[in-house]
Structure 1
Amino acid sequence: MSKEIFSPATLPPPTGYSHIAKVNKGTLVYVAGQVSADASGKMVGEGNFEAQVEQVFKNLTLALEAAGATMADIVKLNTYLVAEVSQDDLPKMRAIRDRYLNKEKPPASTLVVVSRLARPGWLIEIEVVAAID
């Protein structure tokens, strides 16, 4: 597999993400948006943003493993936060994210604030694309 993750000097300096993920060969794995639910579907961390973020990254790890990939294979990450999540909570999310992702070459990423997610109480949803051999 051949993939490049980089940020050209001609774009604004990124903070915790890369501008470009280029996959030349390999298999792409698309993981649907993961939320803070356990294997039984029960919400984890109701009202607790950090607990929800942790569960989302656990679910992403499990989904990627089921497809033969790892968190290191992620080339694109889309994060959706509900509007009630405070800007002050973003460093908490980044600290958890940094435990799971490659901080030296983080994936291309997008963060979007939405009015709500599919179920009341969910505060965050993350979908990813991974590239594997």
Structure 2
Amino acid sequence: MDNTHLTHITAPEGVTPGVGYTHVVTGSGRLVAVSGQVALDANGHVVGAGDAAAQARQVFENLRRCLAAAGASFDDVVKLTYYVTDIAHLPAVRTVRDAYIDSEHLPASSAVQVAALFRPELLLEIEAFALVPEAAR
């Protein structure tokens, strides 16, 4: 794991430390923006209908593939935004996230409960921003 090009500031002065995220991540490099990923497999079929953990596993696999296509990995992620149809899904999503992202260097994050996603079977969508060292391609 090499994310030495990033600085994680978990508790800026005067700000309560976050649980399960970092308040500020800064660094230098090439920006990679990954559109919101949902639990669709390579054929466009929903994976894990009604199961937040199963959907989260598919979403994080989709994110991993998208990051890799840009020469990035989860080590380079500086920001995740979670859109969930029920905030009660967050513990399951975080458990899956922890299998992909080092808990010592969590990205900045936002979580938003939404009324619906573009298909009724989908429970969550996650987008990512990463900074890749310039030498990495």
* TM-score higher than 0.5: yes
Q: Does 1:18 align with 2:32?
A: no
**TM-score, structure 1 normalization:** 0.91
Structure 1 unpaired stretches of 5+? none
The 5 Å alignment of 1:1-133 reads 2-7=5-10, 8-23=12-27, 25-82=28-85, 85=86, 87=88, 89-133=89-133
Query: Deviation digits for residues 87-108 of structure 1, max 9, x if unmatched?
Result: 2x42222111111112001000
Shift of the alpha carbon at 1:48?
Answer: 1.1
> What secondary structure sits across from 1:57 in the alignment?
helix
Q: One-letter code of the match for 1:45?
A: G
> What secondary structure sits across from 1:61 in the alignment?
helix
Shift of the alpha carbon at 1:9?
Answer: 4.0
Structure 2 unpaired stretches of 5+? none
**Matched positions, count:** 129
| Distance in 1 of aligned mates of 2:45 and 2:20 | 30
C-alpha root-mean-square deviation of aligned residues, in Å? 1.3
| Distance in 1 of aligned mates of 2:87 and 2:111 | 14
CA contact (8 A) 1:45 1:51 kept: yes
CA contact (8 A) 1:80 1:125 kept: yes
CA contact (8 A) 1:36 1:45 kept: yes
CA contact (8 A) 1:6 1:105 kept: no
Ranges of 4+ aligned residues in structure 1 off by more than 3 Å: none
Query: Deviation digits for residues 62-85 of structure 1, max 9, x if unmatched?
Result: 000111000111000000001xx3
